[in-house]
Every structure is written in structure tokens, then in C-alpha cells.
Chains A and B, each alone.
Chain A
């Protein structure tokens, strides 16, 4: 539902679409009614179009939740989100002063202040429904819906990284900033692989499919994954491009993609990690995306998840992040300014 229409509907007391709808997502063998999976000229299911994986379902299962949400929980979550949208869209007091220093409202990304107008955020309006089940997490394996613990080797590795980084302040050098702030990739793992919603906005993808390639472009940061269909030589181990090295093949009506050579700065990565993805066209307006991470050097067990992708009734826009990246210079120059202030203060 268009955001503006949603706000208007709520403001007028009109019920938005019922939050619990029968699943559009079904396994390929259970296509209902007269719907027939559209196919490309070479007979494979057509995965093309613009898709969104925005959802109110988090990656990992919050404690105290079962794998499948009850109808009441779904309503709570979805209407809770709607209420927030309405609340924050209400006009402000024009005579308001500056906000509080330090802030008191806990809604913010990393500080106890309200940082941004709600309008910047577009996390989705629905929980993830797969096979008719409203899910409490995108992770489905392990059964507790949470990413498994790190292996000893990975813990050691992270400790060493921490120690290395501890010689720096977080704002000393551009290389120490998060890769998203550097405009190298999106936040979280939008392009991945695995391709996951980032919880913020622009969780959109364009998929183009030919006989021997599938291209998936994530809106942020216009990252185009090129998946070769077939089986060919992998890149040498020392070559780890930002979006990995992907080869795909069709298993019946499912596109199975295996990716290795993951970039060391990606969110989920190691030299030996393999990400396996499955793409299915499950409805006229939906894909089912499944992923699995295998890496005994990082996790004590493999883990996997399912993410519905819904047809996006809109275009993707250019996200030229680096070209407009005031944030990076603001962060660094701000830190240098504060350094100088501290020096001046300590001198006086």
C-alpha cells in the first residue's frame, strides 16, 4: 500500500488491508487456482521484475517467540507499525524549541535521542509470510531462529581484529568507518549474498534473466550481482570481489546459486564461506528467496533462512551514494574539530 494512502487511511479511521492475509507464497508444487508460473523463452520460471524484501520480521527470532506468529501477534506487530507512522506524521508544534541535549526518547539508531523524522524509514508494513506461515524470524535453521554461535577460530579472529582496531579511535580514519558509511555496499547485507532486508529502506531489487545469466541489482548501492548459469572455474582464492563469485543452475523450477570468494569486509564472510541461495517464483507477485550459509571455520553449524520477495509496484531509483557522501566528511571533520576543542580545553 502506498505510504501516503496508508497514512490517510489511518487518519480517516479506515481500516487498511487486513494484516493477516492468506499466503501468496506457496511451494511450487502447490500453485493454487489457475495461476501458472510465467516462463522465459527457454522454459525456466521467470524471476524478472522489481522486487522488495522489506519486512517487519527481523532476521533473528526475538526471545519468547515461537517460529510462527499467532494472528494476534501479527496484528500487534503490523498495527504497531501503522500506529507509529501515524503518530510521527502528526504536525509538530511550530513554537517548539531545540530538542533536548543528549535526548530522552529511546527511538534512535545508536544514541538516546530521536534522530530522524519517521518519514526517512521504510522498513515494510508486513511480517514475512512463507507457505502461509507468518514468521517470527527470517532465520529458520537452527530451529531457534537465531544465527548459531561463532566457532573458536572465528572468535579468536574477531578478538584479533578488535585488538588491532583498539589502537585507533573509531573516527580516526575513513577505513575504520562502516562499509555502508563509506558507500562501498549497502547497510546490512542487501546485495549480500545472502540478500537480506536492511531494516531501513530501499530494500529493492531488479532481476534480469537470460539463458546463461541472472543479474540481480540491489538498489543500494546500485550493486549488480552477476550470476553465471552453468559450472565454471571459480576465481582464485585471493580474488574476493565485493559480491562474491556466483554460479547458478536450475533444479526443476528452482534457481540454485552457489557463491564463494566472499569479500572480507562483507557482513557475512570468510575465506571458506559458501552461500547457497534458492529462488522460486511462487506467485504472480512473489518470489521465495532461501539462503544457507555453510562455514565451519566461522559458525558451529550451518544456518539458513527464508525471505519472501514481493513485487514492487514502482521503479528503482539511482542510489549514487559516494557522489553525495557528505556524511563521511562530516564524521571525520567533526572528529577532528572535537579533537582540537579537547586540545584547546586541556591547554587552558
Chain B
């Protein structure tokens, strides 16, 4: 599975099936809701493209309280989406961010490094026991079932989202991923989410991953912490 991989499509905007909509954060308008002031300047670039979604069955089975949180997330997307602040994307969002990632697979290791924010996951091939700490990217343990690499990830801190549309889970989230090559250049990716405090039952996403085949393909460096300093710390600058 070595190589540089990337998801296509619009699942990072919204993993549920959805029509296009004007923006990720809307406010009431005189006739219909309109993009919120914080995002209106982006125009069509800030608009949400349509997508068939990647959730099997179409809808995430939220518990009522969790659905309310999801909706509140949408109302305040720009202040609440951790990726706006360049925070780590968590799992499974890291997989379908609009950035490539690279897998390093040897006889003794399986390591994934993501271009977005340099997020990293060392998938342990021997179970080290329960996670010692909650982390943005969790703790991952992998094993082979035939030709499918199965990864169990847990030990999340509950702060990452699942996409830009406010979909979320708590620190109790457990993700079971399945990576299966379907050709030398395609991989089928499935991830099942379990979180009894957020969802009424486990649910699964499925999407293909595509290998980068261009000459000299490489993942770049997107250390976005630098890019959000004005956003996070601009208010603390010495007088203009």
C-alpha cells in the first residue's frame, strides 16, 4: 500500500448526501438564508458543492442531543470547525481531506503521514494496550484480514470533526478502518464509527482512494499553524 493517496469528491465538505448550498455558515436573510458575514466574501469559492456522500445508508444516526450539537456547529462553523484553526483533523476526516497522504508500509511498520498540517499516524502492528492519553489522531492498531488491512483507532480527544458540516463525535469514538487494494492504483476505504454517547448505532462510510501516479509525485508541507496566526493572535498585536 506504499504510495501517495488521495480521496476525490466532496466528502470533506459534508459526508452525508447533500445538495449544493450557498455557504457553510448561513444567517437569516430578507428572503432566504444567506451566507454569514464572515464567509460572504468568498463568494462561490465558499459555496458547498453537491455530493452523494460517503455514509452508507445516507444518514448519520445521531442521538437527539448529538444532532442538536451538529446543528449548532453549522450555525457557528467558522469559529468552531477545528480545521479553520489548523487543528489536527482526526480520524476518519484526515483520510478524505482535500490533501494527499503517504503510506509507508514495511515488514515491521505501517505509518501514514498526511499533507494537511503534517498529521501523522503510526499504526502499531502489535497492540500496546489501551491508549495512554487522548489524542487528536488517536491511537491506531492494525492487522491483516486476508488482503484487507484493518485498523482500530481509539483514544480520541473528542475535539475533531468529521467534515466541514459540523458532523462530530465524542472522545468515546472508536473507528474501525478497512483498507483494501482493488487495483494497483485504487484502494477501497471503509470506516465504521461507534460512539454510544453520540450515535444510536454504529455506521460506516465508504469511498475509493486514488494513487498519485504523476512523475515526481510527492506530498508537500502544509504547516498551516503559521497561516492562522493573524486569525488567532491578530487581536494581540501591538497597536497597528
Contacts and interface: CB of A to CB of B under 8 A. Distances in A.
Interface of A: 40-41, 46, 48, 168-169, 171-175, 182-184, 206, 208-210, 212-213, 215, 217, 221-224, 226, 228, 232-233, 241-243, 315-318, 320-323, 328-329, 332-333, 335-336, 339
Contacts of B181: none
B188 interface: no
A318 B238 contact: no
A228 B107 CA distance: 18
Contact of B233 (A168, A323, A329): A329
Given A215-B111, A317-B135, A222 B119 contact: yes
Interface stretch (B12-20, B61-69, B216-224): B216-224
Contact of B229 (A175, A215, A321, A333): A175
B183 interface: no
B226 A182 contact: yes
A215 B113 contact: yes
B109 to A, nearest CB: 4
Most buried by B among A208, A213, A321, A328: A208
12 contacts: A48-B106, A174-B236, A184-B225, A222-B118, A223-B118, A224-B120, A228-B218, A242-B223, A320-B136, A322-B117, A328-B232, A339-B238
A316 B109 CA distance: 14
A242 B221 contact: yes
Given A168-B238, A183-B225, A315-B132, 19 more contacts: A174-B229, A208-B109, A213-B2, A215-B104, A222-B119, A224-B118, A233-B216, A242-B223, A317-B135, A320-B87, A320-B88, A321-B225, A322-B87, A323-B136, A323-B159, A328-B232, A329-B232, A335-B236, A339-B238
Contacts of B219: 226
Given A210-B104, A226-B102, A241-B221, A172 B237 contact: yes
A212 B118 CA distance: 20
Nearest to A215: B104
Given A184-B226, A317-B135, A322-B87, A213 B104 contact: yes
Nearest to A213: B104
Given A182-B225, A226-B218, A233-B216, A41 B107 contact: yes
Interface string B200-236: 0000000000000000101111010110010011001
A169 B220 contact: no
Nearest to B220: A241
B113 A173 contact: no
Most buried by A among B106, B132, B237: B106
Nearest to B114: A224
A174 B119 contact: no
Interface string B96-133: 00000010111111010100011110100000100011
Chain B interface residue bracket vs A = 35 or more
Given A242-B223, A320-B88, A217 B229 contact: no
B86 interface: yes
B173 interface: no
Contact of A210 (B2, B236, B238): B2
B55 to A, nearest CB: 27
A173 B111 contact: no
B2 A217 contact: no
A323 B88 contact: yes
Contacts of A241: 220-221
Given A317-B133, A336-B238, A217 B120 contact: yes
Contacts of A223: 118
Contacts of B238: 168-169, 171-173, 335-336, 339
Given A40-B106, A222-B118, A323-B87, A208 B111 contact: yes
Contacts of B104: 208, 210, 213, 215
B233 A174 contact: yes
Contacts of A169: 238
B122 to A, nearest CB: 6
Contacts of B132: 315, 317
Nearest to A336: B236
